[in-house]
């Protein structure tokens, strides 16, 4: 039963969400960051490592794919690699504290940021590398695992610090003789520049030793409205960006919801679930102006995990079912001022790959 509970927890939602592409969710956690609801009063340390990769290239306005971007070779491509290191201190079988350190590598290929979509040989790359925003989280299981071995709910409260470089710069190639140094696109910045607060709920229910279900919810509140970073990419900001409130980058909220079922056979567990990652157009606390690409990805999420008493490993591959680039604050401002409905686009991935392991000591 202990292994089954541990396995369920491995497949619950992680401590954060990651968007697939230009919808910029910061790397503040991973799939395997929370402690297990063990009934043996375990005290000690746990190290979780998670790697995530995706390639975004399909452009959407709302839920409508802009297929002409691929046909004309004007699509924006983001390659993202995230390694999340999480150290967890178990105080007993209910209380624990975790610290998450993400290490991020991004590469972005585009035409419009450089010579322009209509120019020849205009496709160039910008990149970023470094640590992301560090997060500290306290966790508590609501029910005593000794008295409730088959079902439990975990709550978590945390703080996200602006340790990731949110002003990361690279060169934009305008022509054969001109390169401009400026902040890279929001989607590949290493941090968002805000001190945020996280809330989490993770839950599971075991029907038997083989069949169980899980669910989780994560929300990051970012009270800071803007971080002051220009969206001009080394050039003067366009007058329209100033008019519609997108001349500097916003510091958006984000959230993730997951749910599904597990089937366990000895040390191996297979899971099937649904995952939703979202950047809302409006924040719960503070203003929402500034540049952001709001939207969500709804994915089917199959996974496998292998569990031993001191070691666990997993892989999940969320596959996009629906991608939606929703109307941003700037889009709404433009619509109001011009009287013409406006809605920008964003690039999304078809799938992402998540691989991780956990060591208890």
What are the pLDDT digits (tens) for 196-222?
999 999 999 999 999 999 999 999 999
CA 250 to chain centre: 16
pLDDT digits (tens, 9 = 90+) for 286-321: 999 999 999 999 999 999 999 998 999 999 999 999
Q: Please give the Cα distance from 122 to 74 (Å, whole number).
A: 10
Q: What angle do CA 229, 105, 345 make, to 5 degrees?
A: 55
Q: What does the pLDDT average to over 38-42?
A: 59
How far apart CA 318 and CA 141 sit, in angstroms, is 27
Q: What is the pLDDT of residue 41?
A: 58
Helix, coil or strand: residue 156: strand
For the ranges 40-54, 290-304, 322-336, the lowest mean pLDDT is seen at 40-54
- Please give the full DSSP string across 212-240, using - where no structure is assigned: EEEEEEEEEE----EEEEESSTTSPPPHH
Residue 123 has pLDDT above 50, yes or no: yes
| Confidence (pLDDT) at 12 | 40
Distances, alpha carbon 224 to alpha carbons 19, 190, 195, 228, 341, in Å: 20, 17, 7, 11, 28
Specify burial of residue 346 (Cβ count, 10 A radius: 0-12, 13-18, 19+): buried
- Largest interatomic CA distance in the chain: 71
The predicted-structure confidence for 76-94, as pLDDT tens digits, reads as follows: 999 999 999 999 999 999 9
Confidence of residue 19 (pLDDT cuts 50, 70, 90): low
Q: What proportion of the chain, given as a percentage, has pLDDT over 90? A: 85
The answer, yes or no, to whether residue 139 has pLDDT greater than 60, is yes
Question: What are the structure tokens assigned to 27, written together?
Answer: 């790397």
| pLDDT for 31 | 41
pLDDT in tens, 258-280: 999 999 999 999 999 999 999 99
Predicted pLDDT of residue 20:
56
Q: How many residues comprise the chain?
A: 361
Arithmetic mean of pLDDT over the chain = 90
Query: What are the tokens at 195?
Result: 């001190």
Arithmetic mean of pLDDT, 4-32: 46
CA distance 228 to 247: 9
Q: How far is CA 272 from CA 277, 299, 318, in A?
A: 17, 11, 10
| Residue 29: pLDDT over 60 | no
User: How crowded is the C-beta side of 113, counted as CA atoms within 13 Å?
Assistant: 25
Tell me what pLDDT residue 119 has.
Answer: 84
Using only C-alpha atoms, the chain has a radius of gyration, in whole angstroms, of 21
User: pLDDT (tens digit, 9 = 90+) per residue, 173-202?
Assistant: 999 899 999 999 999 999 999 999 999 999
pTM: 0.91
> Would you say residue 40 has pLDDT above 60?
no
Pick the closest to residue 14 from 316, 335, 241, 326 (CA basis).
316
CA distances from 191 to 195, 211, 228, 229 (A): 10, 39, 13, 12
Q: Specify the DSSP element, H or E, that contains 102.
A: strand 95-110
Return the CATH architecture of domain 2-360: Beta Barrel (2.40)
Instruction: Please give the angle made by the CA atoms of 107, 113 and 118, to the nearest 5 degrees.
Output: 120
Q: What is the band of 38 on the pLDDT scale with cuts at 50, 70, 90?
A: low
For residues 125 and 185, the answer to whether their CB atoms sit within 8 Å is: no
Question: DSSP letter string over 61-93?
Answer: EBTEE-THHHHTT---EEEEEEEEEEEEEE-SS
Of residues 342, 156, 166, 155, the one with CA closest to residue 250: 166
Which pLDDT value is given to residue 118?
Answer: 87
Which phi and psi angles does 160 have, rounded to 5°? -110, 125
Q: Which sequence spans correspond to the domains of the chain?
A: 2-360
pLDDT value of position 355: 97
């Amino acid at each position: 039963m202990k292994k089954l509970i541990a396995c369920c927890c491995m497949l619950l939602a992680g401590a954060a969400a990651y968007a697939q592409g230009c919808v910029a969710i910061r790397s503040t956690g991973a799939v395997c960051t929370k402690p297990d609801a063990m009934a043996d009063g375990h005290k000690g340390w746990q190290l979780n490592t998670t790697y995530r990769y995706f390639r975004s290239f399909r452009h959407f306005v709302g839920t409508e794919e802009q297929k002409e971007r691929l046909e004309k070779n004007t699509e924006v491509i983001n390659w993202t690699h995230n390694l999340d290191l999480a150290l967890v201190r178990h105080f007993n079988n209910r209380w624990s504290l975790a610290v998450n350190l993400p290490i991020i590598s991004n590469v972005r290929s585009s035409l419009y940021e450089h010579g322009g979509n209509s120019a020849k040989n205009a496709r160039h790359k910008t990149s970023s590398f470094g640590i992301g925003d560090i997060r500290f989280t306290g966790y508590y299981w609501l029910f005593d695992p000794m008295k409730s071995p088959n079902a439990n709910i975990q709550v978590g409260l945390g703080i996200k610090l602006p340790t990731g470089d949110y002003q990361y710069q690279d060169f934009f190639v305008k022509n054969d003789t001109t390169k401009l140094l400026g902040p890279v696109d929001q989607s590949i910045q290493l941090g968002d520049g805000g001190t945020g607060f996280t809330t989490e709920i993770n839950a599971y229910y075991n029907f038997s030793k083989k069949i169980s279900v899980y669910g989780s919810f994560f929300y990051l509140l970012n009270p800071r409205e803007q971080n002051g970073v220009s969206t001009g990419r080394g050039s003067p900001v366009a007058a329209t960006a100033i008019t519609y409130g997108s001349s500097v980058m916003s510091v958006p909220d984000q959230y993730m919801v997951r749910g599904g079922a597990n089937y366990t056979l000895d040390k191996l567990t297979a899971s099937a679930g649904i995952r939703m990652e979202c950047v809302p157009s409006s924040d719960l606390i503070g203003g929402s102006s500034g540049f952001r690409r709001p939207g969500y990805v709804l994915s089917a999420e199959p996974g496998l995990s292998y569990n031993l008493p001191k070691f666990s490993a997993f892989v999940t591959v969320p596959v996009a079912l629906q991608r939606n680039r929703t109307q941003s604050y700037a889009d709404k401002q433009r619509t109001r001022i011009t009287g013409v409905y406006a809605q920008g686009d964003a690039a999304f991935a078809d799938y992402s790959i998540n691989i991780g392991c956990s060591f208890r000591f």
